[in-house]
Amino acid sequence: MPQQELAAAGNSQLLEMLSATTELRGRCGTMPAAELAQRGLTLPMAALAPGDTLYYDTPEGHFRIEYTLTGSLAVDSEDKDQSGVPDYVELCGSAMERSWAVEVDSLGFGAPDIGAERYAVSTIFGGGFFGLTQVDATSPGGTSIRVRFSMDIFCTSAADSAICATNALIVTLAHEFKHAIQVSGGWNIYQIGGWIELDATWIEDLVYDDSNDYYRFIDVSGSPFLDPQRSLTQASYEDCTWQHYLGENHGSDFMLDFDHELVAGQPAQPAQLAYLKVAEQRELDWGQLWGDYTVATYLSGERAVDGMGFEEGAFYPQARAVAIASLPLDAVQSSLADMAMHLHEYSVPAEAANETLEIEFAGGGGVEWTLRVVFQREDLTLVLPVELQEQSVIFKPEQNVADFDRVAVLVGNSRVPLGVASGGSYTLKISSTPYVERSSMGGFKGRYRPSGSN
């Protein structure tokens, strides 16, 4: 639920979604809990009899898991290793310790300051969310985590419900622990909004690479693949591949720097500006970075190529493109939000004539436009970065269109807004001329090498 909708929700609605199972949301309840706290209200607590609350301390020493074996919020009592602790609770403990090991010890994010105590995780939670992190000054580290006593209800339609439930639990704990790290590092999770979910969803795959739980978020409306024209400033779960792109190309420490810059700029600095500042500190050209991100997004699904774009791009949904029905394409004007992209694609017919293109682009003022042209067939992918002069260009690639299955023109708006994304407009025209055989096309230059080349 977007932050604006949370702010408009009544107290009873917030309490209901955090305590009941009437609506299974299958996401994180941290932002609804933060909204509740903003109103001076507390999360509903389960009423348990004395002795019904049990605790498990992880052997590694960082976490205490709270659970019960009685009532409607009881965990499954199965104990295959006969340790005296339910397997579900032990799995919670091991998942939390793995999250600490990867997120803190390996990646370098700052751990919640628990001193000589243990971080509190409770499974006595039956809300419609997988779990949540709440700011709690009385708990070690300043926050505590609640995770649902069972994930089975979210997996009734899964091919293997047991694997589904296990994956849902472990990635939820990795996700929620990142929220704990955010708060301990100084993030104002209420003010920052959906960026906290983008960040925490990104970390899931780094802690549990094989779970791929985030795939379900990028295959929904609003993701960069299904709605590439949507501004990244509306960030949430479905935009997590933005940080996958940054990490895969510039190292996961990019996000460490982002953390530091984000906190340093609060409360006035919007989150998106922190990414830009980190790129500048690393002497990375922001326009090139954003243009390459449009390429990575386009090369998804059936278009994916090993060694180009996202590492797992073949398993992502195929990015939606604006279809070019035929060539030539008369001048069309389009509007595009800041930090968004349009993917124009021409599917080359089998009987296509031998021809080359002339691509004319003119971008509206005030916007930092990027342009990439992609030629692709089964055994070859060429990505041609196009340099703009005063936001405009007439570009004449030498390739014979008939030699490819598709040609794409990727338009990006890389402008980083300080407030609401306003966007801009551009004009695109594509003409064609008969292809003339050349004796040599010379060497290919650019950031991308042809797929399959040495």
DSSP-derived secondary structure for 96-126: HHHHHIIIIIIT-PPPP--TTS-EEEE----
Cβ pair 200, 178 in contact under 8 A: yes
The count of C-alpha atoms lying within 13 angstroms of the C-alpha of 245, restricted to the half-sphere facing its C-beta, is 23
Whole-number pLDDT of residue 453: 41
Contacts 24+ apart (CB under 8 A), 67-70: 67/122, 67/123, 67/124, 67/149, 68/123, 68/124, 68/149
Instruction: Give pLDDT, residue 445.
Output: 37
The H or E element containing residue 177 is: helix 161-184
| The pLDDT of residue 4 | 67
**Residue 1's pLDDT is what?**
58
Question: From CA 291, how far away is CA 294, in angstroms rounded?
Answer: 5
Joined tokens for residue 27? 């996401």
Across 209-328, where does the E strand assignment appear? 322-323
Which residues, in sequence order, are bridge partners of residue 431? 358
Residue 333 β-bridge partners: 427
CA-based nearest residue to 197, from 168, 254, 236: 236
pLDDT at 25: 67
Torsion angle (degrees, nearest 10) of CA 450, 451, 452, 454: 40
Cα 391 versus chain centre, distance: 29
Q: What is the pLDDT of residue 441?
A: 46
Query: Which strands sit side by side in the sheet containing 355-363, from one edge to the other?
Result: 329-336, 424-434, 355-363, 392-395
The closest of 104, 129, 307, 93 to 206, measured between CA atoms, is 104
Q: Given this model, what pLDDT does residue 20 score?
A: 61
For residue 324, the model assigns a pLDDT of: 97
pLDDT of residue 15: 78
Q: Residue 64: its pLDDT value, please? A: 98
Type of residue found at 135: V
Give the integer Cα–Cα distance in Å for 86 and 80.
Answer: 8
Q: How far is CA 37 from CA 134, 135, 188, 266, in A?
A: 9, 8, 13, 20
Measured on CA atoms in the order 125, 129, 133, 134, is the torsion positive or negative?
Answer: negative
Query: Which regions in the chain score pLDDT beneath 50?
Result: 441-454
